[in-house]
């Protein structure tokens, strides 16, 4: 088909897999290519490199190869994991090369991206990996220099004997060092001596990303592979009949196959499949309950008032507290389904050959990809390899492996290597959404405005437990009742960045604003008073650290000049999720009598900040994500099918819609507690509370732009 | 099927494809230039942005039959060493998270700065508003475009 005259396609598409597995990440931008010094290829380095552990090899040239096991989807783990190893190794960062490791359940634990957990989980083992190798290099140098190891220090890839001024590079020592037995215990650095951690080390993939190198799953091509796309049914429907004649007639389509309620079109390139898929005439019929958004609104009302709910937490006597209350505040909050919509649609490569399978692509859970494929095909997981490409975003969608098993199943059926591509429309209509949820909050206040009772019932569609029952304000209130009701639906749902808390935080923080107002208390002081109570006399189990939460609240108040400027209408919000704490203040100013959202100030406690650039990306990105979806995100259903199918109707936030974001961190020196998600949950509440302060309009449903309370506010967003 | 001669990044390519095949898929599936990304396919997100005679264009909705002798530039051809001022600025600012949209962002920025070498922040925002970034790197993109204008 293609007749290439200038370039060799194979050369463009080669992704170098190493002998020991994994993808090389070349990240030299410039400068290293000195004409005097030959820069070795990655393969040349690895050929003679000595392997110290699962994370680290060093070559006699002094080049350091660090394996990064967890999938990279923009959280910057491919840069920050190696930084931690290199720190304890005292490596010369200029000589570090990074490899995205393949799935290897023997070498690595928790090789997944989700729950903001990679750094907290791996922090110590990454440090030990570097420190152990450093220890062995020092021991080898002590023998070679004939001095005591305690007289040696390390810096920038060298072992130094201060007294004599002698230095040996790691490359000179690596052959001897790798023969020594690793110590069982090794000393780690005092964080105050960190030289790499805490510095803004650039993303190791910058050059590849900014010059268009093949990095992502969709960029993976294999000689002889077939492309495939799938038409999936509406939720709750099954195929009644398929007329694929028109689709088959499209030039470039080699096969149309119906399997498991799907119709797949297969061919030699992508475009004919996109055309053919539109020409499929598929008739569907109900297969159980077929739902629409209209049904869900009715359902929420029923279940919120229903007699049955799962009690998640009960403290004290809630009925008595509400009976004796001077004031009861009741409020309901609702959110719609959301699509994850990573910029790279779902896709995967699979090649099934007998009882062996090769999988390549973007997954947050390579182990699940492997196990689900093993189960589908009835083969052993050990017979399946998973090569992890870079992910063009994930947001939780790639925790599932549905797109992996589809590719594997088609590869088996077609007896060929298959690259399965979901179109944007497939990605948006093919399921696994942030669940729609409705909450009812109730607070009982005594005559002095103290919250003596707190009730929350959450009703979610395939949301599991829609509450976080042991999170604030639980522990700070004597009488608490937290309940959850789940409605089972054919509409599939999945973890969506900061699962549950991505909306619960907004609802709760808006409600607490309402309660503070009713109690005639300043919203910040109201929260601090509750936390003082939780600290002095905690009620029941607490899953949050009171001092860390107080820390971010005070920092956000201070950095935002909370309450000090009458011309700035501020909204406050604070949330604990995934081990970290973030407080935010949104600032609205009136210009020509119209509200202008100008700034969001964030105070974050995620422990030690490994890479400030990466951390700022996660905080700003989380805020943009939280704000964009609170303002615009809406996926609605009609007869089991999403009405929004692409970015023309499913609105994502754009550049002109983000305010200035001011980022601060609590410096407490504790081990990193994760940052991929925690900045997102507080944002909607901070913005909604500022809008209330500025306009008196309380927004109780998302997306804001579709609420009548919002429609005539004419909120502008402008950066200073 | 028809035969097309295309001028891409200063090289000549000859491909046999259907007339309605978007340039995006010619680049990716037939020529092997995968730096230009597929994301929405309906000219809404900008991930597929290339230059057509120096102007930013959405390649996902540009049929190969409409190209003729137009000069196409993709991210791979923006500079020979990855040292176009916009690429350098993107590195300096450390702009990306997942990075999937960034090639399109860079192509939009490069075409914009050629026409408007000394833009105001407002002009930068107006120009870049057509490109989506799901990770929310908008602050960094804005900063990088402003820096690129200075680097020239």
CATH code, domain with B46: 3.10.20.30
Number of folded domains that form chain A: 3
- On whether residue A635 sits in a domain, the answer given is yes
Let me know how long chain A is.
720
A346 pLDDT more than 60: yes
- In whole angstroms, give the CA distance from residue A82 to residue A137: 18
For A200-217, what is the mean pLDDT?
A: 97
A2 or A107: which leads in pLDDT: A107
Closest CB from B34, B42, B142 relative to A655: B142
Q: How far is CA A40 from CA A13, A18, A85, B83, in A?
A: 21, 14, 22, 22
Q: Say if residue A394 is in the same domain as residue A457.
A: no
Name which of A11-20, A481-490, B73-82 the model is least confident about.
A11-20
Whether B136 has its CB under 8 Å from any CB of chain A: the answer is yes
A455 pLDDT more than 60: yes
Domain termination residue (choose one: B77, B97, B113): B77
- On whether residue A302 sits in a domain, the answer given is no
Q: In B, which residues are within 8 Å of A349 by CB distance?
A: none
Q: Say if residue A191 is in the same domain as residue A273.
A: no
Distance (Å) from the alpha carbon of B2 to chain A's nearest alpha carbon: 10
Whether B94 and A271 lie within 8 Å, measured CB to CB:
no
Asked if A519 and A346 touch (Cβ cutoff 8 Å), the reply is no
* pLDDT value of residue A568: 98
Q: Say if residue A202 is in the same domain as residue A155.
A: yes
N- to C-terminal Cα separation, chain A = 54
Q: Say if residue A206 is in the same domain as residue A221.
A: no
- On whether residue A356 sits in a domain, the answer given is yes
Q: In B, which residues are within 8 Å of A6 by CB distance?
A: 11-13
CATH code, domain with A106: 3.30.365.10
* pLDDT value of residue A39: 67
Domain termination residue (choose one: A211, A226, A251): A211
Q: Say if residue A193 is in the same domain as residue A274.
A: no
Name which of A37-46, A364-373, A422-431 the model is least confident about.
A37-46
Q: Say if residue A612 is in the same domain as residue A684.
A: yes
Joined tokens for residue B114: 């050629």
Q: Say if residue A615 is in the same domain as residue A652.
A: yes
Q: Say if residue A233 is in the same domain as residue A248.
A: yes
- In whole angstroms, give the CA distance from residue A605 to residue A574: 11
Q: Say if residue A180 is in the same domain as residue A238.
A: no
With bands split at pLDDT 50, 70 and 90, how would you rate the model's confidence at A13?
Answer: very low
For A503-525, what is the mean pLDDT?
A: 98
Q: Say if residue B89 is in the same domain as residue B72.
A: no
With bands split at pLDDT 50, 70 and 90, how would you rate the model's confidence at A417?
Answer: very high
Kind of pairing between the strands at B2-8 and B11-17: antiparallel
Query: At residue A355, what are phi and psi to the nearest 5 degrees?
Result: -100, 20
CATH code, domain with B95: 1.10.150.120
Residue range of the domain that includes A411: 217-287+346-421
Q: Say if residue B60 is in the same domain as residue B30.
A: yes
In this prediction the ipTM stands at 0.99
Domain termination residue (choose one: B77, B106, B126): B77
Q: Say if residue A185 is in the same domain as residue A236.
A: no
Q: Say if residue B89 is in the same domain as residue B45.
A: no
Q: Say if residue B60 is in the same domain as residue B123.
A: no
Q: Report CA torsion sign: A119, A124, A129, A131.
A: positive
Q: In B, which residues are within 8 Å of A211 by CB distance?
A: 35, 75-76, 78-79, 82, 87
Counting residues of chain A whose pLDDT is more than 90, the rounded percentage is 92
Contacts (Cβ under 8 Å, ≥6 apart) of A346: A362, A397, A398, A402, A403, A422, A426, A427, A430
* pLDDT tens per residue, range B8-46: 999 999 999 999 999 999 999 999 999 999 999 999 999
B118 pLDDT more than 80: yes
* pLDDT tens per residue, range A112-165: 999 999 999 999 999 999 999 999 999 999 999 999 999 999 999 999 999 999
For A250-264, what is the mean pLDDT?
A: 97
The one-character DSSP state at A434 is: B
SS3 per-residue string spanning A49-80: CEEEECCEEECCCCCEEEEECCCCCCCCHHHH
Residue of A177, A188, A141, A208 lying closest to A57 (CA atoms): A177
* pLDDT tens per residue, range A680-695: 999 999 999 999 999 9
For A55-64, what is the mean pLDDT?
A: 95
Tokens 């914009």: give the residue.
B112
Chain B residue with CA closest to A5: the answer is B13
* pLDDT tens per residue, range A654-683: 999 999 999 999 999 999 999 999 999 999
* pLDDT tens per residue, range A608-627: 999 999 999 999 999 999 99
Whether B98 and A628 lie within 8 Å, measured CB to CB:
no
Mutate one of A226, A422, A655 to test the B interface: name it (highest B CB count within 10 A).
A655
Q: Say if residue A158 is in the same domain as residue A225.
A: no
pTM over 0.90: yes
* pLDDT tens per residue, range A162-179: 999 999 999 999 999 999
Domain termination residue (choose one: A357, A386, A421): A421
- On whether residue A362 sits in a domain, the answer given is yes
Q: Say if residue A597 is in the same domain as residue A577.
A: yes
A34 pLDDT more than 70: no
Asked if A487 and A328 touch (Cβ cutoff 8 Å), the reply is no
Contacts (Cβ under 8 Å, ≥6 apart) of A564: none
- Assign A548 to helix, strand or coil: helix
* pLDDT value of residue A12: 29
* pLDDT tens per residue, range A536-585: 999 999 999 999 999 999 999 999 999 999 999 999 999 999 999 999 99
A580 half-sphere exposure, CB direction, 13 A CA radius: 36
Joined tokens for residue A363: 């997954």
Mutate one of B4, B36, B61, B98 to test the A interface: name it (highest A CB count within 10 A).
B98
Domain termination residue (choose one: A195, A211, A227): A211
Q: How far is CA A129 from CA A152, A173, A317, A378, A647, in A?
A: 20, 17, 52, 37, 44
Distance (Å) from the alpha carbon of B66 to chain A's nearest alpha carbon: 16
Q: Say if residue B96 is in the same domain as residue B46.
A: no
Bridge partners, residue A242, by sequence: A282
- Assign A97 to helix, strand or coil: strand
* pLDDT value of residue A7: 31
Joined tokens for residue A22: 């994994």
B152 pLDDT more than 80: no
Q: Say if residue B57 is in the same domain as residue B11.
A: yes
For B125-148, what is the mean pLDDT?
A: 98
* pLDDT tens per residue, range A269-324: 999 999 999 999 999 999 999 999 999 999 999 999 999 999 999 999 999 999 99
Based on its alpha-carbon atoms, the radius of gyration of chain B, rounded to whole angstroms, reads 15
Peptide bond into A473 cis (omega under 30): yes
Residue range of the domain that includes B126: 85-151
Domain termination residue (choose one: B77, B110, B141): B77
Distance (Å) from the alpha carbon of A547 to chain B's nearest alpha carbon: 30
Name which of A14-18, A198-202, A575-579 the model is least confident about.
A14-18
- On whether residue A313 sits in a domain, the answer given is no
Q: Say if residue B15 is in the same domain as residue B66.
A: yes
Q: Say if residue B73 is in the same domain as residue B89.
A: no
Name which of A2-11, A373-382, A390-399 the model is least confident about.
A2-11
- In whole angstroms, give the CA distance from residue A154 to residue A143: 15
Closest CB from B16, B101, B129 relative to A343: B101
* pLDDT value of residue A141: 98
Whether A13 and B33 lie within 8 Å, measured CB to CB:
no
Asked if B89 and B110 touch (Cβ cutoff 8 Å), the reply is no
Whether A344 and B99 lie within 8 Å, measured CB to CB:
no
Q: Say if residue B39 is in the same domain as residue B55.
A: yes
A215 pLDDT more than 90: yes
Closest CB from A5, A342, A719 relative to B14: A5
Q: Say if residue B44 is in the same domain as residue B69.
A: yes
Contacts (Cβ under 8 Å, ≥6 apart) of A186: A128, A131, A132, A135
Distance (Å) from the alpha carbon of A623 to chain B's nearest alpha carbon: 8
Whether B103 has its CB under 8 Å from any CB of chain A: the answer is yes
The one-character DSSP state at A635 is: B
- On whether residue A153 sits in a domain, the answer given is yes
Q: In B, which residues are within 8 Å of A622 by CB distance?
A: 136
With bands split at pLDDT 50, 70 and 90, how would you rate the model's confidence at B1?
Answer: confident
* pLDDT value of residue A38: 60
Number of folded domains that form chain B: 2
The one-character DSSP state at A499 is: T
* pLDDT value of residue B112: 98
């Amino acid at each position: 088909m293609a007749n290439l005259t200038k370039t060799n396609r194979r050369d463009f598409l080669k992704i170098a897999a190493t002998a020991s597995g994994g993808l090389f990440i070349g990240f030299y931008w410039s400068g290293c290519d000195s004409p005097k010094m030959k820069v070795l290829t990655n393969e040349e380095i690895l050929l003679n490199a000595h392997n110290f552990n699962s994370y680290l090899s060093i070559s006699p040239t002094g080049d350091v190869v660090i394996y990064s096991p967890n999938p990279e989807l923009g959280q910057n783990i491919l840069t920050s994991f190696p930084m931690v190893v290199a720190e304890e190794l005292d490596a010369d960062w200029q000589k570090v090369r990074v490899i995205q490791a393949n799935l290897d359940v023997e070498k690595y634990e928790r090789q997944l991206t989700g729950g903001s957990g990679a750094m907290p989980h791996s922090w110590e083992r990454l440090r030990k990996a570097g420190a152990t190798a450093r220890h062995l290099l020092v021991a080898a140098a002590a023998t070679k220099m004939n001095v005591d190891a305690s007289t040696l220090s390390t810096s920038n890839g060298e072992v130094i004997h201060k007294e004599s001024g002698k230095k040996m590079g790691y490359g000179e020592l690596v052959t001897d060092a790798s023969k020594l037995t690793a110590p069982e215990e090794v000393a780690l650095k005092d964080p105050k001596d960190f030289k790499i951690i805490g510095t803004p080390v650039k993303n190791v993939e910058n050059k590849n990303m900014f010059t268009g190198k093949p990095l992502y799953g969709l960029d993976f091509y294999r000689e002889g592979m077939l492309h495939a796309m799938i038409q999936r049914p509406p939720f709750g429907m099954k195929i009644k009949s398929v007329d694929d004649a028109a689709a088959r007639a499209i030039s470039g389509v080699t096969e149309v196959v119906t399997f498991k309620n799907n119709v797949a079109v297969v061919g030699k390139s992508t475009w004919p499949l996109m055309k053919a898929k539109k020409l499929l005439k598929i008739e569907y019929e109900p297969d159980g309950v077929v739902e629409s958004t209209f049904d869900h609104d009715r359902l929420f009302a029923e279940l919120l008032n229903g007699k049955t709910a799962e009690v998640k937490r009960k403290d004290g006597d809630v009925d008595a507290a509400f009976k004796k209350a001077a004031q009861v505040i009741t409020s309901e909050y609702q959110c719609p389904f959301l699509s994850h919509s990573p910029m790279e649609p779902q896709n995967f490569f699979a090649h099934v050959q007998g009882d062996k399978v090769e999988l390549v692509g973007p997954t947050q859970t390579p182990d699940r990809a492997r196990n689900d494929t093993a189960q589908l095909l009835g083969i052993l997981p050990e017979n399946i390899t998973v090569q992890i490409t870079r992910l063009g975003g994930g947001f939780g969608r790639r925790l599932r492996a549905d797109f992996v098993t589809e590719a594997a199943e088609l590869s088996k059926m077609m007896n060929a290597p298959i690259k399965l591509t979901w179109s944007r429309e497939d990605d948006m209509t093919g399921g696994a959404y942030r669940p729609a949820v409705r909450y009812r909050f109730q607070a009982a206040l005594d005559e002095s405005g103290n919250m003596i009772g707190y009730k929350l019932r959450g009703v979610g569609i395939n949301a599991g437990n829609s509450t976080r029952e042991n999170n604030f304000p639980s522990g700070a209130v004597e009488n608490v009742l937290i309940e959850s009701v789940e409605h089972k639906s054919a509409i599939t749902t999945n973890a969506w960045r900061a699962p549950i808390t991505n909306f619960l935080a907004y609802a709760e923080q808006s409600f607490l604003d309402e309660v503070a107002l009713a109690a005639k208390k300043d919203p910040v002081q109201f929260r601090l008073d509750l936390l003082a109570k939780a600290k002095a006399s905690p009620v029941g189990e607490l899953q949050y650290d009171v001092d860390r939460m107080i820390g971010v609240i005070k920092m956000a108040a201070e950095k935002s000049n909370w309450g000090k400027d009458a011309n700035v209408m501020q909204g406050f919000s604070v949330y604990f999720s995934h081990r970290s704490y973030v407080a935010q203040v949104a600032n609205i100013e009136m210009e020509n009598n119209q509200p202008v959202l100008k700034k969001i100030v964030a105070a974050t406690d995620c422990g030690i900040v490994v890479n400030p650039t990466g951390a700022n990306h996660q905080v700003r990105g989380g805020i943009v994500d939280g704000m964009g979806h609170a303002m615009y995100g809406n996926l609605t259903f009609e007869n089991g099918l999403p009405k929004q199918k692409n970015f023309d109707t499913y609105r994502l936030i754009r550049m002109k819609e983000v305010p200035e974001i001011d980022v601060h961190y609590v410096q407490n020196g504790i081990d990193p507690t994760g940052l991929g998600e925690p900045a997102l949950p507080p944002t909607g509440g901070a913005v909604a509370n500022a809008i209330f302060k500025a306009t008196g309009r309380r927004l109780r449903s998302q997306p804001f732009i579709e609420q009548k309370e919002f429609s005539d506010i004419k909120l502008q967003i402008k950066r200073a | 099927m028809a035969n097309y001669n295309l001028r891409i990044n200063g090289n000549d390519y000859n491909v046999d494809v259907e007339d309605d095949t978007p340039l995006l898929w010619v680049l990716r599936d037939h020529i092997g230039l995968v730096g230009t990304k597929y994301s929405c396919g309906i000219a809404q997100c900008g991930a597929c942005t290339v230059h057509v005679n120096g102007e930013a264009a959405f390649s996902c909705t540009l049929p190969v039959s409409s190209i003729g002798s137009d000069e196409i530039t993709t991210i791979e051809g923006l500079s020979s060493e990855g040292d176009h001022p916009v690429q350098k600025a993107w590195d300096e600012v450390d702009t990306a998270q997942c990075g999937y949209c960034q090639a399109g962002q860079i192509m939009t920025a490069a075409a914009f700065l050629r026409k408007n070498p000394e833009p105001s922040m407002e002009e930068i925002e107006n120009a870049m508003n057509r490109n989506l970034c799901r990770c929310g790197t908008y602050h960094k993109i804005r900063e990088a475009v402003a820096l690129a204008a200075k680097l020239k």
